[in-house]
Amino acid sequence: MANRSNPTGIRFDVEKIEFVKQREKLKSNQQVVDLLMNKYWWEHKMPIPTHKETPPMNLKESVAVSAPIIAQPKIRKTPQQWVNEKREIEDPEIYKKWFSELEADPYLTSKEKSAIKQS
């Protein structure tokens, strides 16, 4: 176990701490705190493991495999671009998809959407 800190008085929600103790089969509140601290440590800090402690295997895999998710910026279409796309559509299924995308576009006002549909 790691170096101990000075005693600190902390209050817990009794129902939550009992739930964790029963589910994880722990005997003391200190074991609950240690469990939660270790879980947070291995999920966020990922220090170099020593011979005393190694992260649980499921945390090793999830951290190693998961890559950061990079959000793609949403491309904003002008009303003219929507009209040009509409003119090129021949297939009814593609038109339905185009129509639903037009309705979901957060950058257009309802007035602009109506004008695009009528063009």
- At residue 63, the pLDDT reads 47
Q: How many domains does the chain have?
A: 2
- Phi and psi at 71, nearest 5°, equal -75, 130
Asked whether residue 5 is domain-assigned, the answer is: no
Domain that holds residue 106: 79-118
Q: Is 71 a domain residue? A: no
Q: Tell me the longest C-alpha to C-alpha distance in the chain.
A: 74
Cα–Cα distance for residue pair 84/81, rounded to 1 Å: 5
Dump strand ranges (E) for 1-119: none
Domain boundary among 65, 89, 106: 65
Chain position carrying tokens 């103790």: 21
pTM: 0.38
pLDDT at 55: 61
> Could you give the percent of the chain with pLDDT greater than 90?
8
74 inside domain? no
Nearest to 23 by CA among 31, 104, 11: 31
